[in-house]
Amino acid sequence: MIMLAVHEVILAQISNPTPETPPLADKIMKLMHYFTWFMLLSGTTAIVYAGGRFAWEKWSGSGLDSPKMVAGALIGGTVATSAGTLMQSIVGQFGH
């Protein structure tokens, strides 16, 4: 009986807390946006560089190492894009 009364008193005081954003949430989100842009830019740069090197190797007749670079850049871009989508869904779930 006493436990029920204590429980009701506690629930009456904290029944509906208002949600608040964490103190550094806006700065962390800004940092995440910068990181996303950096990843997109670095992936695009890697693909362009590997394509240019592929053309140079083809033109000069040397060994073809650049197809591995292109494949690596595409795999890295896929992983980075997947990680961004996954993080966005996690932040979206817990952020709202």
Answer yes or no: is 69 within a domain: yes
Quick: pLDDT tens for 24-56: 888 888 888 888 788 778 878 877 887 888 888
Q: Which domain holds residue 71?
A: 63-87
User: What values do phi and psi take at 83, rounded to 5?
Assistant: -65, -40
- Note whether residue 81 is domain-resident: yes
* Each residue's pLDDT tens digit, 49-62: 878 888 887 788 77
Compute the distance between CA of residue 41 and CA of residue 35 in angstroms, rounded to an integer: 10
- 23 in a structural domain: no
In a domain? residue 71 = yes
| Domain presence at residue 73 | yes
Tell me if 20 is assigned to some domain. no
Mean of the per-residue pLDDT values of the chain: 77
Number of structural domains in the chain: 1
- Give the integer Cα–Cα distance in Å for 76 and 18: 41
**Residue 67 belongs to a domain:** yes
Burial class (CB in 10 A: 0-12, 13-18, 19+), 27: exposed
Query: Per the domain annotation, does 68 fall within a domain?
Result: yes
